[in-house]
């Protein structure tokens, strides 16, 4: 709140409705300065990001509210999606006055404005945000039989021992090429669907599965072909079909900002019989790339020469990826995928994202589009351009890195109120459907393993030390205590909780590729796995956790308590992220609640609940 009781956009006494609004919505504002300030006039000052317009709208004096004046007025949101920035201007009859913005009253003429997101209403599939997502790095999940890489693109080799550490050392040329494989397959994933179903998983998010020279496969070589080490298109179709039989869906990773230099389209080393852009300017794919000096100087992703950037505006590329009758987007949806996660969405133009969304809706109307964005995606600026990811025609939701950042800060000793503030900022800025379609997580293939991050007392200086580092028993115990709390918040918060494969089994590891080890089948941390399984079951059993509203009951220091409600169903998450016991008193309607994590019934009398939370303790109350 900028100035006590003058204006708070999250309070319905000051602004209705809450947060982002659809185009054309009537938004009512109330400002309540003290009468002693002597203000006689108030105006809403607006700046519209995308239309480039600015204007003032006077809010008439409505009357007195105790010791305060009340200025009120209604704004009609634009008919087209936009990002509105607003503050207020107060003035007296003698012409003196000031501005009111997020920081309070100010007279310097500058303003730190509030944000009002205006979006186009569109259909968002409900199945994603309500369910539980599981991210799989396909090479490292399950190997059924030895796999021979002979004759495939790239100088690949396979670890004989499934329990080896991924190769992290540079090759003789000083490059880390990720050419070591473990032989996980799509059939291996299919064989574990019952295990994933038991975990509560409803959506499988697969890291890239198309032919590629590296184990991570983010340097695509052939978008039309499943990497032979993973299997065949028939294997993919079987995985999707068998997942559907279990009430699960499959999302693919779309890497459309760049290809691999060894791809059939660029073909730098001549592996493919086709004529690549690096071999001839007469190549059918030459227009896909931006050469500064052909063939040795070209745009690439973050300057990595093995990842030549594509020219998204090339008509043949757009047709191949999106528009064509059998485009990549359409083809793999028809093969059984239920959506796409877009790698480095910041690198893709807005019009390109719009086209992908449109093609998906034409091909599979119930499919979902998720973007990789690391910040608040409602106001993100990338390459000097304000982005439009969430305004209704691009992504349905985003990877929620702000959630991860805020939650890990909290369980690592931060203030619960900082977590609340960070999440309320997102809830205020995001269209509701996008907030509830966020992909929430504790870790991904791009971050250190969550257990290592929470448990390690230190980060060793050298990569060699980090590669061999294993948590000491006390470190592991401390990490698991924090992870249990973080997982409870993850599974009870709006948005789809995503598990990075193996986190539920207690896998460890610092940064890439140490965070991409093989799943420890038969050696899982059974207690931790049981905890995640219980949370998955609860998530799927209670509509309040899938789509309910959120309200904050207590957020201070190590104590985080919030409620989710759907109709008459109300569940309360209570977390104590500290080594000390705490008791908090809550107003409570009805009988004493049941803790769904333990089965205990807690006493309640006189409409008051004295909630006791032991060190690193938590409850989920019904």
What dihedral do alpha carbons 404, 407, 410, 413 form, nearest 10°? Answer: -50
Provide mean pLDDT across the span 489-504. 98
pLDDT confidence of 130, banded at 50, 70, 90? very high
Q: Which pair of structure tokens corresponds to residue 430? A: 């995001």
- Per-residue model confidence as pLDDT tens digits over 253-279: 999 999 999 999 999 999 999 999 999
Find the domain containing 516 and state its range: 133-173+183-256+312-415+439-465+496-541
CA distance 443 to 498: 9
Provide mean pLDDT across the span 23-37. 97
Domain containing 292 — which CATH number?
Answer: 3.90.400
pLDDT confidence of 4, banded at 50, 70, 90? low
- Per-residue model confidence as pLDDT tens digits over 276-310: 999 999 999 999 999 999 999 999 999 999 999 99
Domain boundary among 510, 541, 572: 541
Residues 251 and 347 in one domain: yes
Least confident stretch, 217-231, 511-525, 579-593: 579-593
Residue 9 has pLDDT above 50, yes or no: yes
Q: Given this model, what pLDDT does residue 174 score? A: 77
Domain boundary among 507, 541, 575: 541
Domain containing 365 — which CATH number?
Answer: 3.20.20.80
Provide mean pLDDT across the span 1-12. 79
**Within a domain: 65:** yes
* 490 in Cβ contact with 444 (< 8 Å): no
Catalytic residues: 343, 372
Residue 3 has pLDDT above 60, yes or no: no
Q: Give how many domains the chain has, as a whole number.
A: 3
**Within a domain: 557:** no
**Within a domain: 449:** yes
Domain containing 65 — which CATH number?
Answer: 2.60.40.10
> For the chain, what is the mean pLDDT?
96
Residue 173 has pLDDT above 80, yes or no: no
Residue 590 has pLDDT above 90, yes or no: no
Residues 322 and 364 in one domain: yes
* 554 in Cβ contact with 218 (< 8 Å): no
pTM greater than 0.85 (yes/no)? yes
Residue 558 has pLDDT above 70, yes or no: yes
Residues 408 and 292 in one domain: no
Residues 410 and 508 in one domain: yes
CB environment 545-568: b (16+ within 10 A), e (fewer): bbebebebbbbebbbbbbbbeeee
Indicate the DSSP class of residue 384. T
Residues 448 and 337 in one domain: yes
Which distant-in-sequence residues (6+ apart) come within 8 Å of 166 by Cβ? 140, 180, 182, 215, 513, 514, 516, 517
Residues 537 and 447 in one domain: yes
Provide mean pLDDT across the span 44-67. 95
Q: Given this model, what pLDDT does residue 138 score? A: 98
Provide mean pLDDT across the span 400-411. 98
Q: Given this model, what pLDDT does residue 462 score? A: 96
Residues 356 and 252 in one domain: yes
Residues 280 and 322 in one domain: no
**Within a domain: 426:** no
**In the chain, % of residues over pLDDT 70:** 99
**In the chain, % of residues over pLDDT 90:** 96
CA distance 306 to 288: 15
Q: Given this model, what pLDDT does residue 2 score? A: 46
**Within a domain: 359:** yes
Helix, strand and coil in the chain, % to nearest 5: 25, 25, 45
Indicate the DSSP class of residue 319. I
**Within a domain: 303:** yes
Q: Given this model, what pLDDT does residue 176 score? A: 81
CA distance 129 to 545: 10
Which distant-in-sequence residues (6+ apart) come within 8 Å of 227 by Cβ? 152, 209, 210, 211, 212, 217
Domain boundary among 311, 327, 345: 311
* 585 in Cβ contact with 610 (< 8 Å): yes
Q: Given this model, what pLDDT does residue 386 score? A: 97
Residues 329 and 299 in one domain: no
Residues 533 and 446 in one domain: yes
Provide mean pLDDT across the span 370-396. 97
Which distant-in-sequence residues (6+ apart) come within 8 Å of 423 by Cβ? 403, 406, 493
Residues 89 and 138 in one domain: no
Provide mean pLDDT across the span 124-152. 96
- Per-residue model confidence as pLDDT tens digits over 373-382: 999 999 999 9
Which residue would you say has higher pLDDT here, 175 or 479? 479
Residue 501 has pLDDT above 50, yes or no: yes
Residues 246 and 270 in one domain: no
Residue 504 has pLDDT above 80, yes or no: yes
**Within a domain: 565:** no
**Within a domain: 330:** yes
Residue 147 has pLDDT above 70, yes or no: yes
Provide mean pLDDT across the span 442-462. 98
């Amino acid at each position: 709140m900028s100035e006590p009781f003058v204006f708070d956009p999250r309070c319905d006494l000051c602004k209705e409705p809450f947060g982002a609004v659809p185009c054309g919505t009537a938004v009512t504002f109330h400002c309540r300065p003290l009468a002693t300030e002597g203000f006689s006039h108030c105006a809403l000052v607006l700046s519209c990001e995308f239309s480039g317009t600015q204007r003032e709208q006077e809010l008439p004096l409505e009357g007195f509210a105790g010791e305060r004046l009340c200025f009120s007025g209604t704004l009609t949101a634009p008919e087209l999606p936009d990002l509105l920035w607003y503050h207020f201007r107060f003035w007296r009859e003698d012409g003196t006055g000031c501005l009111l913005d997020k920081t309070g009253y100010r007279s310097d003429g500058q303003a730190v404005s509030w944000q009002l997101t205006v979006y186009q209403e569109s259909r968002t599939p409900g199945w994603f945000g309500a369910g539980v997502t599981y991210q799989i790095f396909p090479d490292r999940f399950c190997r059924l039989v030895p796999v021979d890489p002979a004759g495939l693109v790239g100088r690949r080799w396979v670890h004989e021992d499934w329990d080896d550490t991924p190769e992290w050392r540079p090759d003789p040329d000083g490059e880390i090429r990720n050419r070591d494989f473990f032989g996980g397959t799509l059939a291996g994933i299919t064989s574990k669907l019952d295990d994933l179903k038991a975990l509560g998983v409803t959506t499988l998010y697969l890291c890239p599965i198309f032919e590629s020279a590296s184990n991570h496969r983010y340097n695509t070589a052939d978008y039309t072909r499943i990497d032979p080490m993973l299997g065949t298109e028939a294997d993919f179709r079987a995985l999707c079909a068998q997942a559907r039989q279990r009430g699960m869906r499959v999302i693919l990773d779309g890497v459309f900002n760049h290809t691999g230099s060894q791809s059939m389209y660029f073909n730098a080393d001549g592996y493919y019989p086709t004529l690549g852009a690096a071999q001839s300017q007469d190549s059918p794919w030459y227009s896909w790339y931006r050469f500064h000096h052909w063939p040795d100087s070209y745009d690439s992703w973050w300057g990595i020469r093995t990842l030549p950037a594509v020219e998204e505006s090339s008509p043949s590329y757009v047709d191949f990826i999106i528009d064509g009758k059998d485009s990549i987007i359409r083809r793999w949806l028809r093969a059984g995928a239920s959506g796409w996660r877009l790698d480095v969405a910041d690198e893709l133009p807005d019009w390109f994202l719009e086209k992908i969304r449109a093609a998906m809706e034409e091909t599979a109307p119930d499919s979902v589009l998720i973007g990789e964005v690391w910040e608040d995606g409602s106001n993100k600026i990338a390459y000097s351009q304000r982005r439009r990811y969430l305004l209704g025609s691009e992504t349905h939701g985003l990877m929620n890195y702000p959630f991860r950042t805020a939650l890990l800060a909290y369980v690592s000793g931060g203030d619960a109120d900082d977590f609340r503030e960070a999440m309320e900022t997102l809830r205020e800025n995001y269209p509701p459907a996008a907030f509830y379609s966020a992909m929430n997580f504790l870790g991904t293939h791009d971050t250190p393993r969550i257990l290592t991050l929470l448990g390690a007392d230190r980060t060793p200086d050298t990569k060699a030390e980090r590669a061999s580092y294993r948590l000491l028993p006390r470190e592991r115990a401390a990490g698991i205590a924090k992870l249990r709390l973080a997982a409870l918040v993850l599974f009870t918060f709006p948005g789809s909780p995503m598990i990075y494969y193996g986190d539920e089994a207690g896998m460890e590891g610092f940064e890439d590729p140490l965070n991409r080890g093989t799943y420890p089948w038969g050696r899982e941390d059974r207690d931790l796995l049981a905890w995640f399984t219980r949370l998955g079951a609860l998530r799927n059993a209670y509509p309040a956790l899938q789509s309910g509203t959120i309200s904050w009951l207590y957020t201070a220091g190590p104590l985080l308590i919030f409620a989710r409600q759907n109709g008459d169903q109300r569940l309360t998450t209570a977390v104590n992220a500290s080594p000390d016991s705490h008791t908090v008193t809550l107003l409570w309607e009805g009988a004493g609640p049941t803790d769904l994590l333990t089965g205990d019934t807690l006493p309640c009398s006189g409409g008051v609940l004295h909630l006791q939370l032991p060190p690193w303790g938590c409850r989920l109350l019904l």
